[in-house]
């Protein structure tokens, strides 16, 4: 039997606001436990939440970027459950009236384009963290994270393969980074993904029994976990068995999904409108103000790179994979106008060392890269030397001019100087010279190589070629 | 007359004229507390030293020419308001040794006005009850009659004000918890419009209904207290940014041009004849003062108790979830697992009435019941609010009894929660609609128990309530009559 995979993703993106969603405490990561807390986020008796309007603004940004419908009146609701990292005994979230609904995100897998629907986007507060002691059977509660603003983005069950899931996740990740509303760090948990996955016989409309996957803290793990779970469910169904509806944790060390330990209680969250908060009112003027401030989004930028700069789709897609990379590219383009050459160099030399997400860590400034390519272009150094110089630049951040000068890497383009060396080499290798004269012109590579050795790679290769041809004939 | 028996307004004038000092006033009240507290049992926490220090400080400030609306006036506050320097127990074992790390906004306002906060007074646990018998530590007693309830849940406040153990108190009112004990103890109590007074630092019972308000010896004192506590607070999203009038200017003699509505539904079955007689006499007095009297109807009144006892417990079940033994408050030390710790801490930390309401509220919000209970109740709440809007198109205020009966014996209804809930029938609609309401003494029963009249007005129309209450007070001749205590 042939099966169709059905996947839906729930993503929690931590907002990059300076303060928490309902109090003035800092959202900074990594502070000593319980230092970024106050009576409000500690859930002391008698405290009340006050909404941080920046969170609403960020939610509007994401809603606009995903073509979602914004609910001009939306409200917060309480999700009630007990856990030590949840000081009030309820999480303030949105339920019946989220801030945005009915959006979509375009993805591309194997050259095929499709849209993944977004069911809803809602605002909520994060919980704290339990820290389990390594030795004693004791757990500690750290409430620094409590009240950090989150946007939860729930997709429609429109995703049909783990590859599509990964593409959707990457696209959403790029969008929140382009919007500068989330730092997207999956390891630190500021961009988290849970998945629902089920299989159904192809052609059947009804969904199969699903499992929920958690603990996938990288793009790769999301895809691996879904691929594993897809295989596991298919095997069960092919054996005539039934998938058990449950929550599974991805074990990256063992490369498999495992049922969450302990009995999972069926939660009744008893949602109801939070009486401490008035309905959130968003008006058209606010939406328009946010829209005016929206940065260029990845799809539009990619299109522009293709039409304005004449880059192939492949290059444009790579260069717009993150806002930082696209910014880097355009900044370099200001100093070196050949977009394709620049793209090639970035694609091969730069991205090998710093991926699209890590480009800001690169010690080479866009202007320095532009200068390097310009030097190669005008013949000051050879293309080969340029790559060597770049390695040096990556290591030290030094300007290319300085490196080239200090190491004496300027290309030798003086014909008189080179011709003497060329003659010397021909004289020293009479056998090869004869071969050339007998028609084995390929041997010219050998001669150029000898010259490069003598000049430590500084000889202008085009010139070298011409001179050997001239002197050997 | 002893100085502890003055009204707040009188005491303030004497202080201003330099006839007495705050230290004398505070010592007198502390003496009074010593004298009657064994009988009244209002104070859960009394901060003698702190009060005397505050009084001396107030006298010093006055010498320096500083003034404050409550400079040097000894007050008490219900133990549901967070105080940084005193425990805040909410009358519960759960918070027996709990001192909050911050002051409620209304406490800050009292302090800024120069008040001398004497201590924290008794209440039904987490403000759930109508007699204060649900206090985990002590049950306050009605100053007018030994062995009788003070009403509740702000029973400690009402008893302390009535017994001259403070000049005024702050209470909280979720379904009548200021007005009903004020009525049963013969004092003035006002529940302001929802949003008029900050709830920040008021330990929540039912967030959409709770409101802090003054409990005082007379109407002028009530207006003065309102001047201090009313106003916008950015820490409370439900507080409303609207100008605060000088409430003391609302006490105009005469009721000309004021139309009073009498809702037939508030004079129905179960109303004690003495209460009805007394209230109707009060209505006559208001007519004599120049008011026009009209009959009005609030047709959805009969649903009020049902709606209230769904919405209030539902919100409470969530509000009280934070008392889990993890961070503060009572924790059962013997429990071995997390779930056992939750269960044991909450089973032992909360009293029966609180647990009853958490259970009712949890049920009302449960999947499959939400629509039938919580949601339906919220819809009916809108209808109840509409009733008031229509009524206030025809009149300026509504007059009724506060409680169907005068005070009853301690223990008389404590085994019958339903009878207890029904005693709230006349007060809870004001909370459901969010409108202001006041309780003013209007007479006594044949066995000497006070009877109060309730007045309700449209949102933010506290001034018309104060005016009417002032005129009733002038004519009823009840204020100044004191219970006979040791």
* Six token digits for residue A76: 């917060």
**CA–CA min distance A22, chain B (Å):** 10
Residues A321 and A281 in one domain: no
Residue B95, CA distances (Å) to A71, B126, B322, B449, B452 in order: 41, 10, 12, 33, 33
Partner-chain contact B208 A42, CB within 8 Å = no
CB contact under 8 A, A82 and B324: yes
What was the pLDDT predicted at A261?
A: 65
The pLDDT score that the predictor gives to residue B32 is: 97
**pLDDT, position A422:** 85
pLDDT at B377: 97
Q: Do A270 and A361 sit in the same domain of this protein?
A: no
B318: nearest CB among A42, A50, A80: A80
Asked if B237 and A48 come within 8 Å (Cβ–Cβ), the reply is yes
Chain B nearest C-alpha distance from A101 (Å): 23
DSSP per-residue letters across A55-118: HHHHHHHHHHHTTPEE-SEE-EEEEE---TT-TTSEEEEE-SS-SEEEEEEEEEETTEEEEEEE
What confidence tens digit (pLDDT) does each residue in A342-365 have? 898 888 888 888 888 788 888 888
**CB within 8 Å: A141 and B326:** yes
| Lowest-confidence region among A260-264, B341-345, B357-361, B468-472 | A260-264
Residue among B237, B322, B338 minimizing CB distance to A87:
B322
Q: Which of A33, A270, A276 to mutate to test the interface with B (most CBs of B within 10 A)?
A: A270
Residue A359 lies in a domain: yes
Q: Cα–Cα distances in Å, from B335 out to B325, B326, B409? A: 11, 12, 39
The rounded distance, in Å, linking the Cα atoms of A322 and A360 is 11
Beta-carbon contacts of B104 under 8 Å, excluding residues fewer than 6 positions away, are A46, B81, B82, B83, B198, B200, B201, B202
Asked whether residue A1 is assigned to any structural domain, the reply reads no
Note whether B326 contacts A47, CB cutoff 8 Å.
Answer: no
Percent of chain B at pLDDT above 70?
100
Residues A187, A324 within the same domain: no
- Do both A271 and A134 map to the same domain? yes
Average pLDDT, integer, range B430-458:
97
Query: Are residue A188 and residue A47 in the same domain, yes or no?
Result: yes
Q: What is the pLDDT of residue B425?
A: 87
pLDDT at B486: 58
- Residues A140-193 pLDDT 10s: 999 999 999 999 999 999 999 999 999 999 999 999 999 999 999 888 889 999
Is A240 a domain residue? Answer: no
Both A182 and A79 in one domain: the answer is yes
A281: enclosing H helix or E strand: strand A280-281
The residue written with tokens 């003070």 in the block is B150
Average pLDDT, integer, range B306-318: 97
Which of A227, A253, A286 corresponds to the end of one domain? A286
Q: Which helix (H) or strand (E) holds A214?
A: strand A211-214
Question: Over the stretch B84-112, which tens digit does the pLDDT of each residue have?
Answer: 999 999 999 999 999 999 999 999 999 99
Helix/strand/coil for A298: helix
CB-based contact A275 B327, cutoff 8 Å: no
Same domain? A178 vs A39: yes
A–B CB contacts, 8 A cutoff, strictly below: 100
Could you tell me if A275 lies within 8 Å of chain B, comparing CB atoms? yes
Same domain flag for A54 and A96: yes
| Span of A265-279, B50-64, B150-164, B193-207 with lowest mean pLDDT | A265-279
Q: Which domains does chain B have, with CATH numbers?
A: 3-253 (3.90.1300.10)
E strand or H helix at A149, and its extent? Answer: strand A149-155
Count of structural domains within chain A: 3
Give a three-class secondary structure readout of chain B: CCHHHCCHHHHHHHHHCCCCCHHHHHHHHHHHHHHHHHHHCCEEEECHHHHHHHHHHHHHHHHCCCCCCCCCCEEEEECCECCCCCCCCCCCHHHCCCCCCCCCHHHHHHHHCCCEEEEEECCCHHHCCCCCCCCCCCCCECCCCCCEECCCCCHHHHHHHHCCCCCEEEEEECCCCCHHHHHHHCCEEEECCCCCECCCCECCCCCCCCEEEEEECCHHHHHHHHHHHECCCCCCCCCCCCCCCCHHHHCCCCCCCCEEEEEHHHHCCCCCHHHHHHHHHHHHHHHHCCCEEEEECCHHHHHHHHHHHHHHHHHHHHHHHHCCCCCCCCCCCCCCCHHHHHHHHHHHHCCHHHHHHHHHHHHHHCCCCCHHHHHHHHHHHHHHHHHHHHHHHHCCEEEEECCCCCCCECCCCCCCHHHHHHCCCCCHHHHHHCCCEEEEEEEECCCCCEEEEEEEECCCCHHHHHHHHHHHHHHHCCCCCCCCCC
- If asked whether residues A55 and A76 sit together in one domain, one would say yes
Among B residues 335-394, those touching chain A with beta carbons less than 8 Å apart: 338, 342, 362, 365-367, 370, 374
Strands A112-125 and A129-132: unpaired
Last residue of a domain, one of A219, A252, A286: A286
Rounded Cα–Cα distance for residues A2 and B303 (Å): 59
The rounded average pLDDT for each run of 10 residues, N- to C-terminus, in chain A (473 residues) is 93 96 94 96 97 97 97 97 96 97 93 93 96 89 96 97 94 93 90 95 92 90 94 93 90 89 71 97 96 90 91 89 90 89 87 83 88 82 82 86 78 78 86 86 86 80 83 80
Q: Which of A45, A49, A51 sits opposite B82 (nearest CB)?
A: A45
Length of chain B as a residue count: 486
What was the pLDDT predicted at B225? 98
Q: Does any CB of chain A come closer than 8 Å to the CB of residue B229?
A: no
Under 8 Å between Cβ of B353 and B134: yes
Q: What is the mean pLDDT of residues B174-203?
A: 98
The verdict on residue A220 lying in a domain is no
**Is A78 within a domain?**
yes
Q: Does the CB of A141 have a partner CB in chain B at under 8 Å?
A: yes
The backbone torsions φ and ψ at residue A91, rounded to the nearest 5 degrees and listed phi first, read -105, 135
Q: Are B174 and B206 spatial neighbours (Cβ–Cβ below 8 Å)? A: yes
Structure tokens of B282? 């009060």
Choose the most confident range, by mean pLDDT, from A104-118, B42-56, B470-484.
B42-56
Phi/psi-derived region of residue A116, left when phi > 0, alpha when psi is between -120 and 50, beta in every other case? beta
What average pLDDT does the segment B190-196 reach? 98
**Across chain B, what does the average pLDDT equal?**
96
* Residues of chain A contacting B318 with CB distance shorter than 8 Å: 78, 80, 89-90, 270, 272
By residue range, what is the domain housing residue A194?
Answer: 11-161+170-199+263-286
The mean per-residue pLDDT over the stretch B426-430 comes to 96
DSSP state letter for A153: E
Q: Tell me the average pLDDT across B471-482.
A: 90
Residues 62-91 (B) with a CB less than 8 A from some CB of A: 81-82, 88, 90
Task: Kindly state whether A39 is in contact with chain B, defined as any CB-CB distance less than 8 angstroms.
Answer: yes
**A247 lies in some domain:** no
**Best residue in A46, A85, A265, A266 for a mutation probing chain B (most B CBs within 10 Å):** A46
Task: Say if the Cβ atoms of A270 and B365 lie within 8 Å.
Answer: yes
**What are B213's strand-pairing partners?**
B171
- Inter-chain contact B100–A44, Cβ cutoff 8 Å? yes
What per-residue confidence (pLDDT) applies to A264? Answer: 54
Question: Distance between CA atoms of A410 and B425, rounded to whole angstroms?
Answer: 96
**Which residues of A fall within a CB distance of 8 Å from B100?**
39, 44-46
CB contact under 8 A, A275 and B201: no
- Residues of B with catalytic roles: 78, 153, 177
Helix (H, G, I), strand (E, B) or coil at A132: strand
Looking at the fold, whether A326 and A277 belong to one and the same domain comes out as: no
Residue to test with chain B: of A132, A272, A278, most B Cβ within 10 A: A272
Torsion of CA B40, B42, B47, B49, to 10 degrees: -20
Looking at the DSSP bridge assignments, the partners of residue A462 are none
A40 and A187 in a single domain? The answer is yes
Q: What is the pLDDT of residues B239-275, one digit of tens each?
A: 999 999 999 999 999 999 999 999 999 998 889 999 9
CB nearest to B365's CB, from A39, A87, A272: A272
* Residues B413 and B420 sit within 8 Å (Cβ to Cβ): yes
Confidence at residue B358, expressed as pLDDT on a 0 to 100 scale: 97
- B324 near A CB under 8 A: yes
A401 and A428: one domain? Answer: no
Cβ-defined contact of A39 to B235 (cutoff 8 Å): no
Give pLDDT, residue B163.
98
Residues of B numbered 408-427 whose beta carbons fall under 8 angstroms of chain A's beta carbons: which are they? none
**Of A390, A407, A424, which marks where a domain is finished?**
A407
Closest CA relative to residue B169, chosen from B322, B40, B362, B299: B40
- Residues of chain A found within 8 Å of residue B235, distances taken between Cβ atoms: 48, 50
Query: What's the rounded Cα separation, in Å, for the pair A335 and A366?
Result: 8
Give the Cα-Cα-Cα angle B325, A247, A104 (nearest 5 degrees): 105
A 10 A CB-CB count for A258 gives 11
């Amino acid at each position: 039997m042939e099966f169709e995979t059905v996947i839906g993703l729930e993503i929690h993106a931590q907002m990059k606001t300076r303060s928490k969603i309902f109090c003035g405490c800092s959202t900074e990561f990594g502070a000593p436990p319980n230092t970024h807390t106050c009576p409000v986020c500690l859930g002391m008796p008698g405290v009340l939440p006050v909404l941080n309007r920046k969170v609403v603004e960020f939610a509007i940004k994401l809603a606009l970027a995903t073509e979602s419908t914004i609910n001009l009146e939306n409200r917060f609701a309480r999700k009630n459950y007990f856990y030590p990292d949840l000081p009030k005994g309820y999480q303030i979230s949105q339920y019946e009236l989220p801030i945005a609904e009915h959006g979509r995100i375009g993805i591309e897998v194997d050259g095929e384009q499709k849209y993944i629907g977004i069911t809803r986007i809602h605002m909520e507060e994060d919980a704290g963290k339990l820290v389990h002691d390594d030795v004693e059977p004791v757990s500690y509660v750290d409430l620094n994270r409590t009240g950090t603003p989150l946007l939860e983005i729930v997709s429609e069950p429109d995703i049909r393969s783990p590859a599509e899931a990964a593409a959707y996740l990457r696209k959403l990740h790029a969008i929140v980074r382009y919007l500068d509303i989330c730092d997207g760090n999956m390891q630190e948990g500021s961009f988290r993904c849970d998945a629902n996955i089920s299989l159904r016989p192809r052609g059947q409309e009804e969904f199969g029994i699903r499992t929920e996957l958690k603990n996938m803290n990288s793009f790769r793990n999301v895809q691996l976990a879904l691929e594993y779970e897809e295989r596991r469910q298919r095997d069960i169904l092919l054996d005539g068995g039934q998938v058990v509806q449950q929550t599974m944790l991805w074990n990256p060390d063992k490369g498999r999904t495992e049922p969450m330990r302990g009995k999972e209680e069926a939660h009744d969250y008893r949602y109801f409108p939070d009486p401490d908060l008035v309905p959130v009112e968003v008006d058209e003027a606010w939406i328009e103000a946010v829209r005016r401030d929206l940065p260029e989004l990845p799809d539009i930028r990619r299109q522009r790179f293709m039409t304005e700069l004449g880059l192939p789709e492949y290059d444009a897609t790579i260069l717009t994979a993150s806002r930082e990379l696209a910014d880097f590219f355009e900044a370099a383009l200001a100093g070196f106008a050949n977009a394709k050459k620049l793209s090639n160099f970035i694609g091969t030399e730069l991205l090998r060392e710093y991926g699209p997400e890590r480009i800001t860590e690169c010690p080479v400034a866009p202007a320095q890269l532009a200068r390097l390519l310009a030097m190669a272009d005008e013949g000051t150094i050879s293309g080969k030397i340029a790559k060597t110089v770049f390695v040096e630049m990556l290591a030290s951040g030094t300007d290319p001019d300085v490196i080239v000068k200090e190491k004496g890497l300027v290309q030798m383009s003086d014909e008189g100087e080179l011709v003497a060396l060329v003659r010397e080499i021909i004289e020293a290798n009479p056998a090869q010279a004869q071969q050339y004269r007998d028609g084995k012109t390929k041997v010219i590579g050998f001669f150029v190589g000898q010259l490069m050795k003598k000049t430590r790679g500084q000889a202008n290769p085009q010139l070298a070629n011409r001179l050997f041809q001239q002197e050997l004939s | 007359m002893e100085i502890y028996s003055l009204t707040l307004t009188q005491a303030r004038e004497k202080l201003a004229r330099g006839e007495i000092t705050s230290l004398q006033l505070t010592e007198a009240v502390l003496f009074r507390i010593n004298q009657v507290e064994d009988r009244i049992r209002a104070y859960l926490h009394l901060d003698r030293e702190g009060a005397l220090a505050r009084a001396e400080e107030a006298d010093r400030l006055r010498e320096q020419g500083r003034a404050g609306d409550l400079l040097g006036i000894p007050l008490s506050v219900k133990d549901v308001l967070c105080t940084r320097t005193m425990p805040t127990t909410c009358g519960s074992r759960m918070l027996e040794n709990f001192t909050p790390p911050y002051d409620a906004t209304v406490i800050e306002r009292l302090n800024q006005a120069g008040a001398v906060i004497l201590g924290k007074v008794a209440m039904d646990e987490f403000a759930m009850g109508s007699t204060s018998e649900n206090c985990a530590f002590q049950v306050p007693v009605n100053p007018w009659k030994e062995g009788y309830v003070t009403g509740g849940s702000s029973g400690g406040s009402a008893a302390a004000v009535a017994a001259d153990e403070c000049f005024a108190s702050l209470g909280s009112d979720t379904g009548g918890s200021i007005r009903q004990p004020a009525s049963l103890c013969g004092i003035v109590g006002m529940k302001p419009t929802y949003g008029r007074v900050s709830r920040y630092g008021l330990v929540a019972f039912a967030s959409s209904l709770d409101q802090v308000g003054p409990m005082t010896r007379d109407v002028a004192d009530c207006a003065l207290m309102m001047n201090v506590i009313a106003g916008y607070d950015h820490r409370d999203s439900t507080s409303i940014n609207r100008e605060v009038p000088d409430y003391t200017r609302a006490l105009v003699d005469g009721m000309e041009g004021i139309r009073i509505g009498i809702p037939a539904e508030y004079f129905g079955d179960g109303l004690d004849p003495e209460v009805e007689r007394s209230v109707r006499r009060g209505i006559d007095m208001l007519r004599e003062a120049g008011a026009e009297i009209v009959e009005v109807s609030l047709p959805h009144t009969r649903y009020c108790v049902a709606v209230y006892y769904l919405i209030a417990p539902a919100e409470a079940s969530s509000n009280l979830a934070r008392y889990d033994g993890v961070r503060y408050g009572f924790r059962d030390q013997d429990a071995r697992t997390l779930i056992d710790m939750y269960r044991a801490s909450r089973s032992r930390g909360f009293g029966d009435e609180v647990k009853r309401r958490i259970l009712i509220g949890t049920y009302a919000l449960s999947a499959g019941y939400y629509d039938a209970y919580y949601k339906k109740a919220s819809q009916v709440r809108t209808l109840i609010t509409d009733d008031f809007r229509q009524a206030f198109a025809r009149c300026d205020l509504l007059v009724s009894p506060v409680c169907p009966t005068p005070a009853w014996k301690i223990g008389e209804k404590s085994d019958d929660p339903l009878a207890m809930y029904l005693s709230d029938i006349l007060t809870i609609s004001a909370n459901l609609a969010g409108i202001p309401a006041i309780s003013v003494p209007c007479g006594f029963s044949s066995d000497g128990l006070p009877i109060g009249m309730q007045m309700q007005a449209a949102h933010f129309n506290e001034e018309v309530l104060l005016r009417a209450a002032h005129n009733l007070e002038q004519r009823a001749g009840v204020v100044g009559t004191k219970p006979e205590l040791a």
